[in-house]
Amino acid sequence: MQGHFPVGSTLPGDAELMELFGVSRTALREAMKTLAAKGLIESKTKVGTKVLGRHHWNMFDPDIIEWHLDLGVDAQFLGWLFEIRQALEPLACATAALRRTPEQVEEMHQALLAMYRCEKSRQGFTKADLAFHRAILEASANPFLQSIGSVIGAALATSFTISSPVSSDEQFRRVMEQHQAVFDAIEAVKPAAAAEAMSNLILRAAERVGIKTKKSALAAPPVHAFSEA
């Protein structure tokens, strides 16, 4: 992902790559299998191994997201993260409200309490916030929704470096009100309200880091496929 081999180019043969990276043939083959599984390369007989464009990549893969973060993300990439959160997290909240167990509600509550205790700690708040969101994904009981934890983690980590919820007392209060609304709706088994609360939370977070929403998918309210109990 550092551009040594541009998109569309064909990688050198095994011998050259083994020499270039100082690895054995076995290690090289395992690495190539891993890259192919992530959608970064494609091997064809008599053609060679081609470097694929981003539209082929598995953008939910934790390694790919981490590599993006290591290289530095721009406003467009951060906007994409918020868009996919807006598309999926409200749904996760709705399903969590219907399917959560008492133990999962308690897990969310403990994460929420940890956030309240981290009013002055950016690192602590980020960790507790991620635990809160992951607890919701887990409570959704949907493996596809549960798989987006790395996306949420990347969005939180990146956005908090731009504007942290603990940067001011007023901002901390607003952010906690938004999270409390999400928790209250899930605890009360109100799926549509939970989805709406999460949608609002994501919109406000996007605005806090300067992501424009007027002409973005972020501005569209989630489709409520659930009615209140």
Q: Convert the pLDDT of each residue in 92-135 to its tens digit.
A: 999 999 999 999 999 999 999 999 999 988 889 999 999 999 99
Average pLDDT over residues 146-163: 81
Written as six digits, the tokens of 17 are 């790559």
Which range is most confident: 19-33, 47-61, 91-105, 210-224? 91-105
Q: Which residue has the tokens 């868009």?
A: 83
| Segment 46-84, tens digit of pLDDT | 788 999 988 888 877 888 877 877 777 777 888 888 888
Handedness of CA 186, 188, 194, 200 (dihedral sign): negative
**Rounded to the nearest 10 degrees, what angle do helices 122-139 and 102-116 cross at?**
160
* Model pLDDT, residue 229: 46
In sign, the C-alpha dihedral spanning 192, 216, 3, 163 is: negative
List of domains in the chain: 14-56 (1.10.10.10), 62-219 (1.20.120.530)
